Structure 1
């Protein structure tokens, strides 16, 4: 059985997929198919981030038609609701969920950036947090793969002073040494599904699910499904005004799960941040979603 693996063709996607292919090839022949026309990745006529599935539609179509057997996704960019006929069948062990700062001048942090500094991001979540914690800096929009954003930062005529990107992205690109600060989740709350690589297969393809099962991390799966439940309950997607995470708390006698969910307006003027803990991650996710809804999350989203 030759396993046909689909992934986005960006440099980061290919680099994070490489060790997966290496692991899979030990069990049998593997072929990689890169996808270059994902709506959110196109260099021209790039899809807006105000909708679900802009990074996955092309790959999912190929999976449904049998052109590939498994799709590799960054979970935060995958559709919130499973596409009929497809399922997330495995999750790699989660990486660092924090965002980080990369600056043109070395040694600077979010606290020490000079007033008026230009920090680039296209993320509503990051933009809001920056407005709250450093209202004296200017947030400028920038889109594209992380390696392209890094090049834009270091061009001789660059008009930006820093980027906020995912810590795990810098690690996967082999560039953690360029990070000047790993930012606390209390300052910039991560996106739901952050730092998780997910494997999507056809629901009826049990052979592929079994072939990749050795990659699956059950602890990550518990957190991932809790976070996806919050997204579904609140109508979220990759660039919605919604953030949060599930944290596993391992004690000497029992394990509990804390689900954090945060909703906000883009200007940072209003936000709601809730945490709920339970011995059942799903129950914690439902409780956090219910409380966020009760406190007006949908109304905030409408203003953003």
Structure 2
């Protein structure tokens, strides 16, 4: 039997989250191919975060050319629109969608950071939320793999007092003990597609799709499609000033979906926050988009003028 060729970005974070996928596919033989030159990961000439697909182009090209059979993506970093001939064939169960604070000095929280503390992030979403919640702290740009940012924070002469990173990243790296605070979505709204690992295949490769489908989680799929609907309708991507999430609520009588989307100016000074609940996740997401548009989200500069 030919091994299933799995492609993933070569960062420590990507490889750590891909290893359990290989184990869960057993006894199907697999081989992992790491990709070192994603535009968003390069140490030199690193692609700016102001466009869609900067983390995925290299690996998608390998999938299209037949060099690999499956591409592993963090959904929030994947292209908003499916690439022609490719499909997201499986979604793994979702992890914690919250961001978290990691500090140089132990025992601090967002509330107790001293005035003038320096928090590092290159995320427009995180920076805007911090400017609202703690306008007295400074924000410094810092990007790169989580492991690289943590090393910078831990240096004796570090210029920053803390980082905002994804909680799921710290959990996957086995570093939950470093988390100073798991931040409420009411303080920093998560990115659409947060904490979801998606497996992408060629659309016509039914054999591979069957092999990986046992890893698929239908609840995550429903939430992911609702969130990607918002991204597509509002013209968002991984570092656009647009955030939100869909949650599944089950009871004895019905299953409903709570969908939230938040559009904001890059300085965080103005925001439009819409929350709706319905029995169909995608339809509820569409209703959220209509309300965002009706309230003038396009005028905030957060979305395309569709």
- TM-score class, shorter: over 0.9
Residue 34 of structure 1 corresponds to: 34
2:179 and 2:151 mapped to 1: Cα distance? 14
Query: What is the Cα deviation at residue 232 of structure 1?
Result: 0.2
1:159-206 per-position Cα deviation (integer Å, ceiling 9, x unaligned): 000000000000011101000100000000000000000000000000
1:246-292 per-position Cα deviation (integer Å, ceiling 9, x unaligned): 01111221010011000001111110000111100011100001111
Query: What is the Cα deviation at residue 27 of structure 1?
Result: 2.8
Residue 2 of structure 1 corresponds to: 3
Q: List, as ranges, runs of 4+ consecutive aligned residues in structure 1 with deviation greater than 6 Å.
A: none
How many corresponding residue pairs?
Answer: 303
SS at 1:82 equivalent = coil
2:201 and 2:49 mapped to 1: Cα distance? 25
Residue 17 of structure 1 corresponds to: 18
Say whether the 8 Å CA contact 2:55–2:78 is kept in structure 1: yes
SS at 2:301 equivalent = helix
The answer as to 2:135 corresponding to 1:135 is yes
Say whether the 8 Å CA contact 1:38–1:57 is kept in structure 2: yes
Residue 169 of structure 1 corresponds to: 169
SS at 2:81 equivalent = coil
Q: How does 1:199-210 map to 2 (within 5 A)?
A: 199-210=199-210
Residue 65 of structure 2 corresponds to: 65
Residue 262 of structure 1 corresponds to: 262
1:7 and 1:83 mapped to 2: Cα distance? 17
- The more displaced of 221-230 and 291-300 is 291-300
Residue 100 of structure 2 corresponds to: 100
1:74 and 1:296 mapped to 2: Cα distance? 30
SS at 1:71 equivalent = strand
1:4-60 per-position Cα deviation (integer Å, ceiling 9, x unaligned): 000000000000000001111x13210000000000000010000000000000000
Q: How does 1:86-165 map to 2 (within 5 A)?
A: 86-165=86-165
Say whether the 8 Å CA contact 1:263–1:301 is kept in structure 2: no
Say whether the 8 Å CA contact 1:277–1:284 is kept in structure 2: yes
2:189 and 2:169 mapped to 1: Cα distance? 16
1:139 and 1:289 mapped to 2: Cα distance? 30
Structure 2 spans left out of the alignment, 5+ residues? none
Say whether the 8 Å CA contact 2:97–2:168 is kept in structure 1: yes
SS at 1:224 equivalent = helix
The answer as to 2:275 corresponding to 1:299 is no
Taking a change above 3 Å as real, the CA distance of residues 248 and 302 of structure 1, as seen in their structure-2 partners, is: closer
Say whether the 8 Å CA contact 2:242–2:302 is kept in structure 1: no
1:2 and 1:293 mapped to 2: Cα distance? 47
1:106 and 1:27 mapped to 2: Cα distance? 43
SS at 1:127 equivalent = helix
1:144 and 1:162 mapped to 2: Cα distance? 15
2:298 and 2:15 mapped to 1: Cα distance? 36
Say whether the 8 Å CA contact 2:240–2:302 is kept in structure 1: no
Q: How does 1:233-272 map to 2 (within 5 A)?
A: 233-272=233-272
Query: What is the Cα deviation at residue 301 of structure 1?
Result: 2.1
1:222-245 per-position Cα deviation (integer Å, ceiling 9, x unaligned): 000000000000000000000000
| RMSD (Å) for aligned C-alpha atoms | 1.1
